[in-house]
Structure 1
């Protein structure tokens, strides 16, 4: 394969809808792709020219994205799949291929989970699985595809799945995310997102993180984290950091080292931050230290108030412990959000309402009530397929060539799926439960009458 001189990376528009505090469907907040920012930096470090089109942030229609690509005519086009944007990615790839014939590379978490199905699309040349910072430059370099670990590609129209690439163990060795792809409108807000770990050692049956990374957690050093924050501060006025790690507090030793370094830098005085945490990884002393170091908001995944459900999804927490931690976090002065999931395949109306009652009474600032989705590669996905084969899965019978077939892909994996994982309730009925839960929570807070 010949070497590629330039590539355009595309953050495809997402059709990810969730439910707001009044139970209304809404599109998620506009943001940028940290994953593509890492790939962009790695590609540029390797000596390639990289352009960028943020179709998601600017809500650019597919035809306009295709027109921009056709005008630039890069030798390669890279797009990330997050599952909610799958249909848009496939449609964009098809239309780009219709206009001319660049190498089309697909990556991202959805690509890892569905690589064998995505490669069957006529327009897709290479699917990069797992981490892309090392693999994408290798693909662009012109190396023979059969010798590149971590990709799925076509050879004589037949899909070939290469061995997995070695996990990147030294996260500090990666180039910092490319700040040039952050929209100016976001820079003006002073808010950035950061990843400081990869992997998850927990056993939650619904989570696809171990399939995307693996179960062994890799950490960035506190020094690297501080240096990246300084990098943003040199580029624009930084006001707030959103740490996107599944569990920012998973290592007490690493957390304390970061808190010490952050306070020593003095940045905690004018750059606040928020994170995701887990109920069984914090205590009062830790929360106080986090608050003193600028943490203003923590989100906890509680998922259910029913102990049998929690055991079945291997959450390893109890409703009582979750309640205590949320109350403690709030009392210390850190804003708190709790996430819940309803619609597990065995879940009854009684169990769902038990969770909604619990959420409505919980001492937190906000709740998120999500409809259960069974992602490929998860224990839950296999369980749903065994119980109700028609409700989930990426059907091998789907033809990916036409827009109406692409819509089927979206229906399978959208944030609000066409069919729920629960045999007792439809997606719309589950959304109705979620709306009731939100309204009760807001009423209890006195925010609606």
Structure 2
């Protein structure tokens, strides 16, 4: 029996390590169906040295090597192609993926070791290419192929597969070192996008604005197969437009419920805010959906309208409200650097994000991808700071600014990034900004040092910054410090001067290391927990100017209370309890504001409760209204372990949320006991009458 010819598919190393390369798994299943042996090396998720890669290639001896390249991995893909060309000169090396589709001619001209490219979605083209290489035939007539004609690069006509139901399910077992243990299975139920957002290249990658979809039966069949054969308990939907056809999305959910798949899942690639209704939200919840993401991009109406999403900003507010109402977590994605945006408008976006009370949010840097409208804008009126292949949306150290447009310069985009991260600090600093000798004081424990540059940038150059407890060289050695503006006024002190604990100061300190004199002072107080990715800053006390004959302890408590009144999500408060309690304390944070639009816990928006009832009666009424709304408990499913959960589940342990109450979170941070309010099972502090007692009791417990 003749041995099947081998094909190797390769995913180069990049900066996004969390996901597998599902596209290569689809290609592998198509190749195996066509009688080829196929293996995948995902060196991005499962790192491999060049030496080990070369040894693997020599043993496999493939006739075709396919390399998947995104814009951010194009250079690494070209390097690997050159390396493997020397090792296997007889093998045909082809690259595919988003960057090849957008920049085929340029990439092939700059990468002489690459023999060809595959445009768009390659399930059909990869099989035809492998057959041509095996049979030593010409590839010049194969659709979706870019090839060399001497010094010239020829791009054949191309279009993606139209009938997605006939494609074999992706073969993840072809990935070397892949394990199904605690794996969250990715599924694509549709491809393409009919919309024309100015920053997005999806319809450039598919060659049209056509949305192609799989039948509900085909989708659920894939899930049934994976559950039966691999025993998965959770999955995620990778579609760009899962809910575009509401009827189809509802039928998928109904089939999942009918088949009793008992799976936990989420949609974190994002769905459109105008393509969800209450019925679909309920069905998604009943089918096991735990979280949904929305591409919100901007909270400023003018900026939002200018990016041509084709939906109103009000749809975002309504969609978030709907998913919360049925108990699904809402996630939001935002973009820094949009055309027409500026720092002032961006601050509006952060305020909008905070008002939405999202379970998780992400602010990413805009990248002007080739052939998008943003790309044309930057070419005509902007400045690029690097090659497009060097760009990235996120970074741990340096804010990855790749371009700028008039009105939103690079320095403002860097500050916008850190304002989004340390917005509570900015809000506290704004309270002293116009005061004489305004300053931010940072108690720099070793784990806070990496955050100092970001906090200094977010707070601005018009106040003084005093770093206490570490030397200047240590702080300036941090990679992110190169972004701090040169005109920032920064002083380094070995220890805290008590003269700094005044109403002109905002003091930032580690939540576990609060000196007594700071705790009972009248400065602004911000606690930071650098171990948390999100919600790591808590505003505790508003800075209070000193008054003759008024003890600092009294001013300290008054500052906490005033901060609470301005911000119902203060650590010692809980908006839901304050505004829904029947003790006459409602409307504490704004007269007449509807709780239908603002109140929620981590489980979602709760039905508004009648006033004037006792606690037990209100709890019973809440249960009744939940039944009327139709909220049902999701099917029980094994939660993924920490390593498989995304950053949107920050702060969760074993699949269980932290207490929704900020007061309970702060008590945890401080190591204090959490006492539930009477008659309520969750850890929540008392209503407004008990706030003063809670504040000073907490202060007393610390000492």
- TM-score (normalised: structure 2): 0.56
Q: Is the 8 A contact 1:373 1:415 kept in 2?
A: no
Q: Name the larger-Rg structure.
A: 2
Summarize the Cα distance change of 1:157–1:188 in structure 2 as closer, same or farther, 3 Å threshold.
same
- Counterpart of 1:292 (choices 286, 292, 302) is 286
Worse-superposed segment, 368-377 or 230-239: 230-239
SS of 1:297's equivalent in the other structure is strand
Alpha-carbon displacement from aligned partner over 1:411-435 (angstroms, at most 9, x marks no partner): 2567665522434556675344223
Matched, 1:211 2:204: yes
Q: Distance in 1 between matches of 2:13 and 2:58?
A: 18
Q: Distance in 2 between matches of 1:71 and 1:184?
A: 17
Q: Distance in 2 between matches of 1:98 and 1:418?
A: 36
Aligned position for 2:376: 382
Deviation at 1:154, TM superposition (A): 0.7
SS of 2:120's equivalent in the other structure is coil
Alpha-carbon displacement from aligned partner over 1:204-233 (angstroms, at most 9, x marks no partner): 111111011231111101111111112212
Worse-superposed segment, 312-321 or 372-381: 312-321
Aligned position for 1:176: 169
Deviation at 1:62, TM superposition (A): 4.3
Aligned position for 2:8: 8
Aligned position for 1:364: 358
Aligned position for 2:125: 135
Summarize the Cα distance change of 1:314–1:186 in structure 2 as closer, same or farther, 3 Å threshold.
farther
Aligned position for 1:396: none
Summarize the Cα distance change of 1:73–1:226 in structure 2 as closer, same or farther, 3 Å threshold.
same
SS of 1:346's equivalent in the other structure is coil
Matched, 1:157 2:151: yes
Worse-superposed segment, 62-71 or 234-243: 62-71
Aligned position for 1:410: 389
Query: Matches of residues 50-89 of structure 1 in structure 2 within 5 Å?
Result: 50-89=38-77
Tell me how large the CA RMSD over aligned residues is. 2.3
Worse-superposed segment, 57-66 or 101-110: 57-66
Aligned position for 1:112: 101
Matched, 1:433 2:413: no
Structure 1: which 5+ runs fail to align? Answer: 16-27, 394-407
SS of 2:195's equivalent in the other structure is coil
Worse-superposed segment, 79-88 or 182-191: 182-191
Summarize the Cα distance change of 1:117–1:148 in structure 2 as closer, same or farther, 3 Å threshold.
same
Deviation at 1:372, TM superposition (A): 0.7
Query: Matches of residues 327-342 of structure 1 in structure 2 within 5 Å?
Result: 327-342=321-336
Q: Is the 8 A contact 1:150 1:162 kept in 2?
A: yes
Q: Which has the higher contact order (CA 8 A, sep 6+)?
A: 1
Q: Distance in 1 between matches of 2:408 and 2:418?
A: 15
Q: Distance in 2 between matches of 1:50 and 1:65?
A: 16
Q: Is the 8 A contact 1:360 1:437 kept in 2?
A: no
Aligned position for 1:301: 295
Q: Is the 8 A contact 1:204 1:315 kept in 2?
A: yes
Number of residues paired by the alignment? 416
Aligned position for 1:264: 258
Aligned position for 2:265: 273
Alpha-carbon displacement from aligned partner over 1:393-448 (angstroms, at most 9, x marks no partner): 9xxxxxxxxxxxxxx56325676655224345566753442233133372477468
- Counterpart of 1:49 (choices 14, 18, 37) is 37
Q: Distance in 1 between matches of 2:369 and 2:322?
A: 33
Q: Distance in 2 between matches of 1:150 and 1:327?
A: 43
Alpha-carbon displacement from aligned partner over 1:176-231 (angstroms, at most 9, x marks no partner): 10131356665111311011111101121111110112311111011111111122
SS of 2:384's equivalent in the other structure is coil
Aligned position for 1:95: 83
- TM-score (normalised: structure 1): 0.86
Summarize the Cα distance change of 1:237–1:428 in structure 2 as closer, same or farther, 3 Å threshold.
farther
